[in-house]
Structure 1
Amino acid sequence: MISKPLNFIYLVSFMLILGCKSKTEKLDNSANSNTESPQKPPAKAPEGMVWIPGGEFMQGAVPNDRMAMGHEKPAHKVYVDGFFMDIHEVTNNEFAKFVDETGYVTVAEREIDWEEMKKQLPAGTEKPHDSILQPGSLIFKKTKSSVPNLYDYSQWWEWKIGADWRHPNGPDTNIEGKDDHPVVHIAYEDALAYCEWAGRRLPTEAEWEFAARAGRSDSKFFWGDDISQLSSHANSWEGEFPVENTMEDGFERRAPVMSYPKNDFGLYDMAGNVWEWTSDWYNTNYYEELASSNETTQNPTGATRAFNPNNPYAEERVIKGGSFLCSASYCASYRISARMATSPDSGQEHLGFRTVMSE
């Protein structure tokens, strides 16, 4: 994460910026190779959801994935019970119905509580001027020239006062005509509030990954291993990041849900478009702990506490799926095992969610 003294945009970026991180970096993978027969749906799927049959799989990076990052390893055996899952990310239209009925105000629309914020910042961090400390969120901005250091996220992220789910690219933008786009600038608290209203919950990381894999035990992507099919299967970044997006996939930013083929479970947008919240704490030691047991973990719900040595001041949650900003040169997080961490109070223009429901 990046910080810059006395500059709130970079201060916020230090704590709130999530994005794709540079790629590099086992898996005797047996995804969906259930030791039991697949679970049958207990009832008809609710509208807009599909039944995910549950089973055993290897969570984490597959052996042939040279783009896998260290925190996607080691692969470990997991078993999840069956559940229902939204076929696509929650849309602007769906979120608007929730807001209209409840009057809910998202985190990005609320006045900023400096006393709360500074708890996540290094001791002694100076409070920004009140004119800067205003409700808003992070929006993406292309750079004018090549970026030699892709670790410096502040080069393409901007704290924008007035950016929120109704104004996804800043206060002068809106969601008119975009009812079927995924809702964004959603903090973890916002996603939980929607789930409570809808009678659902967020998926665990294991559930999300099992659903995305859909039985493809050795595949890097939900469609297989052919990277040449990326632009026809996911909304990602083509061209030089973050300078030019050639839009080979048809979109520069967010795409309407279901714009690309579904996976083998009938789920859309499990790669690219927007990142999606899971309920798990992000802990860099968690995969090692599960793998060390040499046993199949039943319905894991994540680490008991958050831990990230690269961002020690924030307690982060796991997000999955990648976004329209992911490129081969930057993070390639349209891969099934890809995972990232972000602060629960963070909302950005490429972060949304989908819901699940147990039987």
Structure 2
Amino acid sequence: MESNKSCCSASRDTASQVHTDTSTPTPAAIEAPSPTKDSIVSQALDKSSMIYLNGGTFLMGTDDQEGFPADGEGPVREVTIKPFYIDPCTVTNAEFKQFVDQTGYRTEAEAFGWSFVFHLFVSEATAQKVKSAVQQTPWWWVVEGADWQHPEGPDSNVEERWDHPVIHVSYQDALAYCKWSGKRLPTEAEWEFAARGGLVQKRYPWGDELKPGGKHMCNIWQGKFPIKNNASDGYAGTAPVRAFEPNGYGLYNVSGNVWEWCSDWFSPDHHIKAKRVNPTGPSSGQARVMRGGSYLCHKSYCNRYRVAARSKNTPDSSTGNIGFRCAADAQ
């Protein structure tokens, strides 16, 4: 299968590729987040709620006909991972608020003054002020005032979504939270090892059938993308982080809900010749790996909620469907 353009491809570097009625927001007037990541004081690491995984050797990647070879999903290869800890859920709005309250951290979306919001979520009042959208993926609107506290724009809030994943967080924001919590982002190999939940080469974290017995197992798009979401899984946007059943290792929502940042730089072919023991990805790059898919993924367009699927975005980018979960060393 050829690599389709991802529903999640909106990034800061597409700000010059929008169609617009007025000037497009640019990074020119950015203020650095305050405090900076380097000045954040780490808390004592609390592993009590994390999942300990013994590591081991597993089959990473896929040669599935539903995969996207151009994304670097294959070939299937044996990869060995050392023991590590990982959170059962992505970081929630409540957890991120605690971080912000204690540190005064300001996200990159707040510094830029805007973020990408899916068009169906924008209120009529905010929509009247939206002047920009990405040309190749016009469902992504540039919404001024959109950030983690105002996911759909300045007239929205997270008051009833404290147990939902925090969104509109960049890779840099995720690193800042990880430093504060004493944790880190998982490597891509760790993420896939954990997401597979002990199953071998299955398409999803629970098996090969998307809806076993007709049961929804994850939060993805149902309907006609990008104009009609039937939300038959119960959610049009994000779902609570513990919605749906966990995988065999106790991880929730590793398929769908929100994309999750990993620590690796993205490359479609580095892994072919790279080391297969505790791989960490290329030493440099333009975009970071994201895994897991999101509530916007649909088989007709972005079939990337499969456990081997990959995507990417620039480290300063934020959208309404990107979050993260944390990991930690076993030592």
Q: Normalized against structure 2, the TM-score is what? A: 0.80
Q: Secondary structure at the match of 1:233?
A: coil
Following superposition of structure 1 onto structure 2, how do residues 43-192 of structure 1 map, counting pairs within 5 Å? 46-61=47-62, 63=63, 65-70=64-69, 71-110=72-111, 112=112, 135-142=113-120, 153-192=136-175
Task: Give the drift of 1:287.
Answer: 2.6
Task: From the superposition, tell whether residues 284 and 237 of structure 1 become closer, same or farther in structure 2 (CA, over 3 Å).
Answer: same
Counterpart of 1:356? 327
Report the alpha carbon displacement of residue 6 of structure 1 after superposing the two structures with TM.
6.9
- For residues 65 and 278 of structure 2, the distance between their equivalents in structure 1, rounded to whole angstroms, comes to 28
Percentage identity across paired residues of the two chains: 42
Instruction: State the 1:8 CA deviation.
Output: 7.6
Structure 1 residue aligned with 2:190:
207
Q: Any idea what SS the aligned residue of 1:232 has?
A: coil
C-alpha distance after superposition, 1:217-255 (max 9, x if no partner): 120000100123386210000011011111110000000
Amino acid in structure 2 at the alignment position of 1:209? E
In structure 1, stretches of 5+ residues that fail to align are: 13-44, 113-134, 144-150, 291-295, 307-314
Q: Which amino acid aligns with 2:222?
A: E
Pair 1:266–1:89, CA change in 2 (3 A): same
Moved more, 45-54 or 186-195: 45-54
Alpha carbons of 1:58 and 1:170: their partners in 2 closer, same or farther (altered >3 Å)?
A: same
| Residue 272 (structure 1) aligns with | 256
How far has the Cα of 1:4 moved from its partner? 4.5
Decide which of 274, 278, 282 is 1:299's aligned counterpart.
Answer: 278
**How much has 1:288 moved relative to structure 2?**
2.4
**SS state of the match for residue 212, structure 1?**
helix
Amino acid in structure 2 at the alignment position of 1:66: Q
Displacement of 1:7: 6.6
TM-score for both structures, normalised by structure 1: 0.74
CA offsets 1:165-197 (integer angstroms, 9 cap, x no match): 000111110001211000000011110010010
**Any conservation in 1 of the 2:259–2:323 contact (CA below 8 Å)?**
yes
Paired residue for 1:228, among 211, 214, 218?
211
Determine if contact 2:211/2:217 at 8 Å carries over to the other structure: no
Q: How many residues align?
A: 282
Structure-1 residue corresponding to 2:293? 322
Question: 1:307-342: CA deviations, max 9, x gaps?
Answer: xxxxxxxx1000000000001101121101011010
Deviations 1:94-123 (A, max 9, x none): 00000000000000111x4xxxxxxxxxxx
User: RMSD of the alignment, in Å?
Assistant: 2.1
Deviations 1:286-306 (A, max 9, x none): 13223xxxxx61101111122
Task: Note the alpha carbon deviations across 1:245-281, whole angstroms, 9 max, x for none.
Answer: 1111000000011110000001101110000000000
